[in-house]
Amino acid sequence: MQAIIVGCGRVGVLLAHLLEDDGHHVTVVDKNPTAFRNLGAGFRGRTVAGVGFDRDVLREAGIERADALAAVTSGDNSNFITATVARDTFHVPIVVARIYDPQREQIYRRLGIRTISSTVWGAQTIKRMILHSDLGESQPLGNGEVHLVRAQVNELLVGHTVRELNYTGEITVYAIERLGRAFVPRASTTLEMGDVLHLSVAATALPRIEGLIQR
């Protein structure tokens, strides 16, 4: 994958290294050339100095061949404009913008821009840790309305069926790991000791599944 990252702050640097470690080709754009020092000597990708939403700068970064662009500067408006130019002018297949202001995030999403709000994500994560500390591995989706939860079957659940756990619109067991293999269960699948459940759970239903977690 050819990826362009606009913004060479902490998020941009970490993202650049994560993508590069996975074998992708990365170009980092930042208006401040000294910011590229943050990438370290081990960075093997390209750097381009300039404003991220400037079309000529993006062309120099190779946007016409890019598979993805992430706008992760410290400015919401700059990230939105960069993402819009990448999507509408250069037709980059995957475009993501980092947004701080939750209200702007909702507006930008309605305009069709994929966004990630560190403010919303952080607040939702802290809320879950405070209110649902018993939950093990849990990944919020959207603005935290739905969580993907990984839970190990305890003694109380052995012998029960998936049907007994599923609640329409609230809780769904979508996969089970058993003896090192994963499968999509039927409603009639009986739970066994050692099973690991993968569930999609509405945020309002999180308290109902805390007892599923192996302690």
Give one DSSP letter per residue of 18-51, joined into a string.
HHHHTT-EEEEEES-GGGGGGG-TT--SEEEES-
pLDDT grade, residue 213 (50/70/90)?
Answer: low
The predicted pLDDT at position 143 comes to 66
Neighbours of 105 (CB within 10 A): 22
pLDDT, tens digit, 9 for 90 and up, residues 177-205: 998 899 999 999 999 998 988 999 888 88
Tell me how long the chain is.
215
Q: What is the mean pLDDT of residues 8-20?
A: 93
pLDDT, tens digit, 9 for 90 and up, residues 51-85: 999 999 999 999 999 999 999 998 989 999 999 99
Q: What is the mean pLDDT of residues 22-45?
A: 94
Q: What is the mean pLDDT of residues 29-54?
A: 95
Low-confidence winner among 9-13, 78-82, 106-110, 117-121 (lowest mean pLDDT): 117-121
Residue among 135, 126, 162, 149 at smallest CA distance from 201: 149
132, pLDDT greater than 60: no
Structure tokens at 54: 């400037």
214, pLDDT greater than 50: no
Share of the chain above pLDDT 70, in %: 87
Q: How far apart are CA 208 and CA 199, in angstroms?
A: 12
Q: What is the CATH number of domain 2-121?
A: 3.40.50.720
Portions of the chain given CATH number 3.40.50.720: 2-121
The predicted pLDDT at position 8 comes to 96
The predicted pLDDT at position 134 comes to 45
Q: How far apart are CA 88 and CA 86, in angstroms?
A: 6
The predicted pLDDT at position 58 comes to 97
Domain 133-212: give its CATH architecture: 2-Layer Sandwich (3.30)
Beta strands in the chain (DSSP E): 2-6, 25-30, 46-49, 68-71, 94-99, 114-117, 137-141, 146-152, 171-178, 181-183, 196-202
The predicted pLDDT at position 84 comes to 94
Which residue has better confidence, 2 or 140?
Answer: 2
Portions of the chain given CATH number 3.30.70.1450: 133-212
The predicted pLDDT at position 145 comes to 83
Q: How far apart are CA 188 and CA 95, in angstroms?
A: 41
Which residue has better confidence, 74 or 114?
Answer: 74
The predicted pLDDT at position 63 comes to 97
